[in-house]
Amino acid sequence: MTSTVPVKDSGPAPDPGTTARREITLTGGPPPGAAELLAKDVCAWFGDRLVLDRVNLRMAPRRVTALIGPSGCGKSTFLRILNRMHELVPGASLAGEVLLDGEDIYSAARRAQEVRMRIGMVFQKPNPFPAMTIRDNVLAGLKLAGIKCDDKTALVEQSLTRAGLWREVRDRLSALGGELSGGQQQRLCIARSLAVRPNVLLMDEPCSALDPTSTRRIEETIAEIGHEVTVVIVTHNMQQAQRVSDHCAFFLAAENEPGRIVEHGPTDRMFSSPDDPRTLDYVSGRFG
C-alpha cells in the first residue's frame, strides 16, 4: 500500500498561507485514513476466568472514544484485544469479533503484525528506545514493519509536529530518546506510532504518570490527531475524558463478575444525563 501525505515546513515563525508543503510517500504501510473499529459480542478469559462479557462497541473514525470505569473492570484488557495483544498473554482466550472497516482482525488470513501496524498502541509507561536517537526512535516502526519512505527527514518533522514535540527537539534530533523528560518521552512514543500512518491509535492511560503540564500537551496532541485517526483511550481521569473524547463507554464489574459495558454514548450526555444511575454516580465521583 502506497500513501502520500502532505507535511508543512515548521520554521520558528511560519507565515500563514505561505508555508511550503511537501508530499511524503510511504510504501508498504497501512491504507491511508481513519478506520472504524467495531467490537461484537467480545468475551475474554484468563484461563477459566471470564473477565469480559459480551462487549459491543462502535469506535467511530476520526473520533476519540474514552473507556472509563473503575480498576479491574476490563478496560485495558479490551484495549489489548483491539490490536491482538491479548493473544500474547499465556492462557488468554476470547470470543466474538473485532472488525476493522468490516474485516475481522482475528481472521486466519490476517497477520498479527499487519493488524498492529494499522492499529497502533501507546502504553501507560513511555517506552522509547533509550539508546536510540530521537530521530531513529520516530523511524523505528517503519524499519520494523518494512515500510519505505521517500523523505524520512520530512516524516520525522511531521510526526514530531503532530505529537507536539517538534519545537522542543528540532535542534537535537541526534540526542538519545532516554535523555528526554517523561512527558517528552511519551510524546516521542506517540510520534513513533504516528509515523507508520496507523488507521487507529489506542492509548492506555497515557498521562497517568505525567505532570499537569505534560498531561495538557498530550491532551492537545489527542485533540489534534483525533481529526485524522480513530483514537481509543483508557483513562481514570474523568475531567480528561470530558476534555478529549467525543464518545464514552462505561465499564463496570460486580464482585466476582466479569466486566461489561453499562452504557455508552456521546460524552456530553454520559456526563450530564446518562441512562443508568450507576454511570452518573461514577462520573460524579461517588464511587470508583
Does residue 3 belong to any structural domain of this protein? no
Does residue 1 belong to any structural domain of this protein? no
Place of cell 492509548: 203
Torsion angle defined by CA atoms of residues 287, 266, 34 and 7, in that order, rounded to the nearest 10 degrees: -90
Tell me the pLDDT tens digit for each residue of 57-95.
999 999 999 999 999 999 999 999 999 999 899 999 999
The whole-angstrom separation of Cα 52 and Cα 46 is 10
Does residue 10 belong to any structural domain of this protein? no
pLDDT score recorded for residue 2: 54
Does residue 7 belong to any structural domain of this protein? no
Q: Quote the number of domains for the chain.
A: 1
Question: Residue 263's beta-bridge partner residues?
Answer: 250
CATH of residue 117's domain is: 3.40.50.300
Closest CA to 287 of 70, 111, 3: 70
The whole-angstrom separation of Cα 203 and Cα 126 is 11
Per-residue b/e over 119-156, b at no fewer than 16 CB within 10 Å?
bbbbeeebebeeeebbbbbbbbbbeeeebebeeeebbb
Instruction: Dig out the grid coordinates for 210 from the structure.
Output: 505525567
Query: What 3-state class would DSSP assign to 152?
Result: helix
Q: Note down the domain range covering 141.
A: 36-283
Does residue 237 belong to any structural domain of this protein? yes
Does residue 8 belong to any structural domain of this protein? no
CA neighbours closer than 13 Å in the CB half-sphere of residue 14: 11
The answer to whether the beta carbons of residues 209 and 125 sit under 8 Å apart is: yes
Tell me the pLDDT tens digit for each residue of 220-265.
999 989 989 999 999 999 999 999 999 999 999 988 899 999 999 9
pLDDT score recorded for residue 262: 96
Does residue 76 belong to any structural domain of this protein? yes
pLDDT score recorded for residue 50: 96
The whole-angstrom separation of Cα 222 and Cα 80 is 19
Does residue 14 belong to any structural domain of this protein? no
Residuewise pLDDT in 10s, the chain (288 residues):
555 554 444 344 333 332 235 688 888 888 888 999 999 999 999 999 999 999 999 999 999 999 999 999 999 999 999 999 998 999 999 999 999 999 999 999 899 988 999 999 999 999 999 899 999 999 999 988 889 999 999 999 999 999 999 999 999 999 999 999 999 999 999 999 999 999 999 999 999 888 898 899 999 999 989 989 999 999 999 999 999 999 999 999 988 899 999 999 999 999 999 999 999 999 998 876
